[in-house]
Amino acid sequence: MNIAILKLAAASALLSAASGAMAGANSGIIHFVGSIVEPPCSTSSVERGQINIHCEQRSAFDVTFQRIGADAGLSKTTVTLTRDGKPLGDKEASAYRMALQGNAQLGLSVKNAAADADTRPVIMTISYL
């Protein structure tokens, strides 16, 4: 009978030591390397050169556009970026930096001086900073 009691006492001691080791694993230092990536803004309803953007918190981003096609460098085509219907700047530019919070609408319009001229596509890119 003494052997059974000794075995039970040894098992209890081992279980107690294992529980103590696991409790010690709840403390320490964790080193994190990398980044948590989540877009700060959401976009919806892209139609006819307009894109709706919603940012919960104030967010900064770059908006760039690039003309595509053979006549991309010709001055007869004018590209205008608008924010909430208002043109951004009085000169054509290919990049803008802005920040917003809440709702906004960005628009990109392409106009050509000649009525029969081919207006090639324009690519708009939004990059979060």
pLDDT 10s digits, 23-59 = 555 677 888 888 776 777 888 877 777 888 898 888 8
Closest by CA position to 94, among listed 68, 55, 60, 128:
68
Which helix or strand (DSSP H or E) is residue 18 part of?
A: helix 2-24
- Owner of token pair 């990049």: 95
Cβ–Cβ < 8 Å for 40, 57: yes
Structural domain spans, the chain: 41-128
Amino acid identity of residue 114, one-letter, is: A
CATH number of 41-128: 2.60.40
Each residue's pLDDT tens digit, 55-114: 888 888 888 887 776 555 555 667 788 888 888 876 767 788 889 899 999 888 777 766
Question: Residue 43 — left, alpha, or beta (φ > 0 → left; ψ -120 to 50 → alpha)?
Answer: beta
Whether pTM exceeds 0.75: no
Closest by CA position to 50, among listed 79, 89, 99, 84:
84
